[in-house]
Amino acid sequence: MAVPLPLPPPGPQFVLRGTQSAVNALHFGGGAQAQGRQLLFSGSQSGLVHIWSLQTRRTVATLDGHGGQSVTWLQMLPQSHQLLSQGRDLRLCLWDLAEGRNAIVDSVCLESVAFCRSSVLAEGQARWLLALPGKGSDEVRTSTTDALHSPNHQVQILEMPSKTSVCTLKPEADAKPGMPMCLGLWQAESSPRPLLLAGYEDGSVALWDVWERKVCSRVSCHEEPVMGLDFDSQKARGVSGSAGKALAVWSLNGQQALQVCSTHQLTNPGISDITVRPDRKILATAGWDHRIRVFHWRTMKPLAVLAFHSASVHCVAFATNGLLAAGSKDQRISIWSLYQRT
């Protein structure tokens, strides 16, 4: 008796078109403009931010604030109507989206043209922390090869919205990790101290104590630059992807020491983005090989390979209800309903 073949993964629930350029950033949000609707924000290579209604599958508004330069990161501030967008124009813009407004109310100048995305730690609507790549111009470069003194190898922490400098995180004297490639601010429930996870050009991941301005731990995860990471603070466990062919799963113990738990080989190299679903059950990766890969977060068992896009997938994002969005160089955004939350 023939064994039935497993069913192929389903196709996307629907596809959003109309960005007219590669999609580099995605973020699900709500806020005052949502009015009960589920919204998806997308950032394009042409410098535009599109706000999509998932009910009508059309754009609600288009934001143009980055002078035609690629938008690389988007983040809605929690419980607010404010959106952050980061672009290759060396600006990070704060948008007011309340009551139909689409206005830039503030901006921060960046010093790095790299694709490292910023990170936010919200301490309430009144104040929040912002981690930015490549600040620290107070350092004088003594030679063209001195990586330690390069501003682009540092991370600036600002208190917002005052833009007050909290600190500049500089690599240790004996470490040359290269540029920060991805950042993740977080805070343990048992401690008021903000911490920063940073993935670097040399393939390492470091945990910084922001107040102490020091590296608590650094671990070598990849042989290629870290392109994306996500961290599950409840399980003290994180995952990172790189330009290489492996995912690295690492953990953080009670002494704030990072250690690699396991690595998982991929068929093809190159992960642009990686994210764990809010319920911490599954994770998704965006691949240079045009594929979206889905894994079980606890076991890292491969669950699905989603082959829809015709070019590199640049970004993935989960909604709180479990929907998955993926943005690609092919100018399309695919929306998936997989392994629904129970």
Q: What's the rounded Cα separation, in Å, for the pair 310 and 15?
A: 13
* pLDDT band for position 124 (cuts 50, 70, 90): low
- Model confidence pLDDT, tens digit, residues 84-94: 999 999 999 99
Cross-strand bridge partners of residue 315: 327
Mean pLDDT of all residues in 10-19: 92
Residue 160 has pLDDT above 70, yes or no: yes
Q: pLDDT confidence of 298, banded at 50, 70, 90?
A: very high
The mean pLDDT value of the chain amounts to 88
The per-residue pLDDT for 152 is 61
Average pLDDT over residues 71-91: 93
Q: Using alpha carbons, list the distances in angstroms from residue 68 to 16, 43, 47.
A: 21, 11, 4
Task: State the DSSP H helix or E strand holding residue 94, giving kind and residue range, or none if neither.
Answer: strand 91-96
**Are the C-beta atoms of 136 and 156 separated by less than 8 Å?**
yes
Give the closest residue to 154 by CA, choosing from 129, 179, 175, 118: 179
Stretch 222-249: mean pLDDT: 95
Helix (H, G, I), strand (E, B) or coil at 133: strand
Give CA–CA dist 326/294, Å, rounded: 12
pLDDT at 216: 93
Question: Whose CA is closest to 183, among 200, 168, 158?
Answer: 200
Q: Element (H or E) spanning 44, and its range?
A: strand 39-44
What average pLDDT does this structure show over 265-285? 96
Q: How far apart are CA 319 and CA 27, in angstroms?
A: 8
On whether the CB atoms of residues 247 and 267 are closer than 8 A, the answer is no
Mean pLDDT of 113-140: 75
Q: Is the pLDDT of residue 218 over 70?
A: yes
What are the phi and psi torsion angles at 149 (to 5°)? -95, 5
Q: What DSSP letter does each residue of 188-235 carry, written as one string?
A: -TT---EEEEEEETTSEEEEEETTTTEEEEEEE--SS-EEEEEEETTT
| Bridge partner list, 61 | 51
284 membership: H or E segment, kind and range: strand 282-287
- Residue type present at position 108: V
Give the strands of the sheet with 291-296, arranged side by side: 271-276, 282-287, 291-296, 302-307
Would the pLDDT of 4 be above 80? no
Question: Looking at the predicted structure, is the pLDDT value of residue 190 above 90?
Answer: no
DSSP 152-180: GG-EEEEEETTTEEEEEE---TT----SE
Residue 332, helix vs strand vs coil: strand
| Sheet bearing 324-328, strands edge to edge | 14-17, 332-336, 324-328, 313-318
Instruction: Determine phi and psi for 123, rounding to 5 degrees.
Output: -110, 25
Q: Distance between CA atoms of 65 and 319, rounded to whole angstroms?
A: 25
DSSP state of 149: G
